[in-house]
Structure 1
Amino acid sequence: MRLSEKFQVCGIPSLVVLTSSCDVLTMDGVEEVQSVSDEALQLWSQGKCVFWTRPPSEGEHVWEGITCTLCHMYPLVGTRRGCTHQGCNINLCDACISNNKHEHPLAEYLIPKKHYSLEQIFASVPHLLGPNNEEQIETRTLWKDDVKSIGIYFSADSCPPGRDITSTLAQYYTEAQASRHPFQLVFVSADEDESSFNKCRARMPWPAVPFNAGALFELYFERRADGNILTRRGQRYVSNKGVDALKAWAQGENLPPLSADDFEWWGIYCDGCNVSPLVGQRYYCSTCGNYDLCSACEKKGHDHPLELIPQPKDDEH
Structure 2
Amino acid sequence: MVEEEVEIELQNLLQQLEANQNDHEYVLGRVNKLVEATEKTGLENDRIVELTAALYNGLNNYASSITCYQKLLSSNKATYSMKSLEQYGNVRAKFAVKNFLEESISGPETIKEMDVVIADFENLLKFGQTRERLSLMGSTYKRKMFVQQKMGVKQSVKSLKESISYYEKAASMSGFKDPYPLTNWLSLERLAMLLEGKPSITLIPLEARKALDELKSRCEKKLEEEKDYWAYANLATIQLTQLILGTPKVSLGEVKKSYNEVWKMAGNKGQKNAEIEHLEILSLIISNIKKSDSKELGKDIDELMEHLRASI
- Identify whether the pair has TM-score above 0.5, normalized to the shorter chain: no
**TM-score (ref. length: structure 2):** 0.29
Of Structure 1 and Structure 2, the greater helix share is in 2
Of Structure 1 and Structure 2, the greater strand share is in 1
**TM-score (ref. length: structure 1):** 0.29
